[in-house]
Amino acid sequence: MVASAQSHEMVAIAAAAADAKGGEDLVALDVSEPLPLVDVFLLVTGRSERNVAAIADEIEDRLLEAGHKRVRREGRAEARWVLLDFGDLVVHVFHEEERTYYGLERLWKDCPVVPIELPEHTAAE
């Protein structure tokens, strides 16, 4: 299987939202082959608990505005690793330390990377 066009659209929305709140090191992995119920994992890093929470909230808000239904959210209270499950897309927003410790990229290294195009930033931003 290959991630659907809708999943790619969801990744674009989530990535733009994460970028808008200072999310770093965005990586999208097509996990549709090993995980039949999920198409894509989006991994994002935040610099602090407050930043992780802001990134997760913005992603959730933008995906909901676009008409996508959230299935589950976990970790928002601690804001060290927030998981947002939107069915075809699962977003993992990590604090830097958790991202390094859990190393999801290593676990899913055989999965293809989904390209992410972020808006250009100007010097004034």
Can you give the residue ranges of every domain in the chain?
5-114
pTM (two decimals): 0.92
Classified by CATH at the fold level, domain 5-114 comes out as Beta Polymerase; domain 2 (3.30.460)
Say what the pLDDT of residue 2 is.
78
* Residues lower than pLDDT 50 in the chain: none
Say what the pLDDT of residue 40 is.
96
Say what the pLDDT of residue 123 is.
54
E strands, 1-125, in order: 24-30, 40-46, 72-74, 81-85, 89-95, 113-114
Say what the pLDDT of residue 5 is.
85
Give the C-alpha separation, 58 to 114, whole Å.
21
